[in-house]
Structure 1
């Protein structure tokens, strides 16, 4: 039975990690038009318990995309300089939508795995009761 609970722990860590990734992707999308906003990037790290690998993952520290911010020409913008330019955001909506779809699919795969493990443990309990 401990194998089932260990598997559920690994699956739950994947769900938490993809949830964090989706949260940061949604922040990026909502701030795509915010002047000076830098895209947030989430990386995953292997989860350790008592100095041992657990098989799970955790969302690592959030990093900011250091690519150059584009200059936008809009003389009517309140942040525009004397030439009519201001610093835009480095968020690419196409990349963010692709990241969101990938995170969503990974989350769904973890949910299916969770359901499979639950069904297997229920079937095992039914067999043991006989």
Structure 2
């Protein structure tokens, strides 16, 4: 019997992604004046693929059904932003955009923490017998 669904594990991976995003944004802001620094971004697609890897199972009742196998995906990490405009010193950091992404990431983090808190509250309610 599986005690927990994969939800807590998935939420943990969402928190890992948010932490990575926070680090990347902080590095970009810290290097805003560094000549020839290229802004980086956390790859959500790669983080999402690694979160789903191995967690989806299906029973095929017909040979024509699709498999739930993920394609090859690399580990999540920071990637250099593409289509970036460069300043006069070769730097591609836009501080205003980074601050907006920082605020967005904070909202995402708070939402995930709220879900984790709700899951643990539900478990605590079950352990108390619904009292």
Same topology, TM > 0.5: yes
Q: CA deviation at 1:3?
A: 6.4
Aligned to 1:78: none
The structure that has the greater radius of gyration is 1
Structure having the higher strand fraction is 1
Q: CA deviation at 1:68?
A: 4.2
TM-score for the superposition, normalised by structure 1: 0.73
Aligned to 1:82: none
Question: SS where residue 129 of structure 2 aligns?
Answer: helix
- For 1:99-110, what aligned pairs fall within 5 Å after superposition? 99-110=101-112
Question: SS where residue 23 of structure 2 aligns?
Answer: helix
Number of residue pairs matched by the alignment: 110
- For 1:103-122, what aligned pairs fall within 5 Å after superposition? 103-122=105-124
CA distance in 2, matches of 1:91, 1:10: 31
Q: Deviations over 1:89-126 (max 9, x none)?
A: 11001100011111111111111111100010110111
Q: CA deviation at 1:5?
A: 4.8
CA distance in 2, matches of 1:7, 1:48: 11
TM-score for the superposition, normalised by structure 2: 0.72
Output the aligned Cα RMSD: 2.6
Query: Structure 1 stretches of 5 or more lacking a match?
Result: 72-86
Question: SS where residue 127 of structure 1 aligns?
Answer: coil
- For 1:19-98, what aligned pairs fall within 5 Å after superposition? 19-44=19-44, 45-46=48-49, 47-50=51-54, 52-53=55-56, 60-66=76-82, 67-71=84-88, 87-98=89-100
Label 1:23 to 1:111 Cα distance change in 2 as closer, same or farther (>3 A). same
Q: CA deviation at 1:7?
A: 1.5
Aligned to 2:10: 10
